[in-house]
Amino acid sequence: MPIVQVEDLRKSFGPLEVLKGVSLTVERGQVVALLGRSGSGKSTLLRCLNGLEQIKSGRIEIAGHKMSYSAAALRDLRKDVGIVFQSFNLFPHMSVLQNVALAPRLSKGLQKSEAEGIALEMLSKVGLLEKQGAYPDQLSGGQQQRVAIARSLAMQPKVMLFDEVTSSLDPELTQEVLVVMERLAADGMTMLLVTHEMEFARKVATTTVFMHQGLVHEAGSSNAIFAEPQTKEFRQFLGNAA
């Protein structure tokens, strides 16, 4: 069974239809890069997959959950589907360790020692174990984003969603975060990411999906789709991104 199945997904904001019948299948361990111009529906699709936006019609099944919008269903969904945004959203009054350990304690009811054990493991995974006692304002932007990734990983999700997580970072800090994401991919994490990092998509993503005007316009293995784009729109997009 695919770990993500999306069929004929439609989403509107008032009269504006942003997703116009998106279908997508993702297998376990795949890394899917979602590319496209601003307004093409990429981020909205990710938010729909995490239940942050309610769909107009269509079907979503992700990590064993059929999309439902009751509070209990969304809580269960978000234990298995993590999402990381462009903004870090860390609690400024909490240490790095406390930020990462909070969700397992609240959502899974873990004891403090058990939650902190998981948090330390995830901080090690993102290369920030030595920063466990620091506070967010003592960290660089790249370090804060890596803490945000560790916080999502602490829930031990089956699928990770990344929404332009490097777009507010300078090139050096961007590289820090991309290295962490590349390690996650190598470890077999199923990931869907909205990104403007073309080289990262080409190198790390197993599949690339190009969205255009609310639809999947072109999709295929990253090697094939970058080597021979099939549509004029994707060729123009790649030319502008070069």
Instruction: Please state, in angstroms and rounded to a whole number, the distance separating the CA atoms of residues 99 and 56.
Output: 34
Residue-level pLDDT at 242:
62
Instruction: Please state, in angstroms and rounded to a whole number, the distance separating the CA atoms of residues 201 and 34.
Output: 9
Residue-level pLDDT at 88:
83
On the 0-12 / 13-18 / 19+ scale of CB atoms within 10 A, 166 is buried
- Please give the single-letter amino acid code of residue 111: Q
On the 0-12 / 13-18 / 19+ scale of CB atoms within 10 A, 161 is buried
Residue-level pLDDT at 132:
95
Q: Which residues of the chain have pLDDT under 50?
A: none
Question: Domain ranges in the chain?
Answer: 4-91+158-241
- Give the tokens for residue 164: 């332009």
Range 178-187, long-range pairs (CB < 8 A, 24+ positions): 178/204, 180/125, 180/126, 180/127, 180/146, 180/149, 181/149, 183/125, 184/125, 184/149, 184/153, 184/160, 185/31
CATH superfamily entry for domain 4-91+158-241: P-loop containing nucleotide triphosphate hydrolases (3.40.50.300)
Residue-level pLDDT at 226:
92
| Beta-carbon count within 10 A of 23 CB | 14
